[in-house]
A and B are shown apart, each in its own frame.
Chain A
Amino acid sequence: MAKKFAIIATKGSLDWAYPPFILSSTAAALGYEVQIFFTFYGINLLKKKLDLKVTSLGNPGMPMPMPMPVLLQALPGMQAMMTAMMKQKIKSKGVASIPELRDLCVEADVKFIACQMTVDLFDFKHRDLLDGIDYGGAATFLEFAGQSDIAMYM
Chain B
Amino acid sequence: MSGFDQVLDASGLNCPLPILRAKKSLADLKSGQVLKVVATDPGSVKDFQAFAKQTGNTLVESNQESGKFVFLIKKA
Spell out A's residues near B (CB within 8 Å): 22, 25-26, 29-31, 93-96, 104
Contacts and interface: CB of A to CB of B under 8 A. Distances in A.
Of B12, B16, B17, B51, most A-chain CB atoms within 10 Å: B16
A interface, by DSSP: helix, strand, loop or mixed? loop
B7 interface: no
A93 B14 contact: yes
Contacts, number: 32
Interface in B2-60: 12-17, 19-20, 23, 40-41, 51, 54-55
B16 A25 contact: yes
B11 to A, nearest CB: 9
Interface residues of B, number: 14
B19 A29 contact: yes
Contacts of B12: 94
Contacts of A25: 16, 20
Contacts of A96: 13-14, 16-17
B23 to A, nearest CB: 4
A29 B14 contact: no
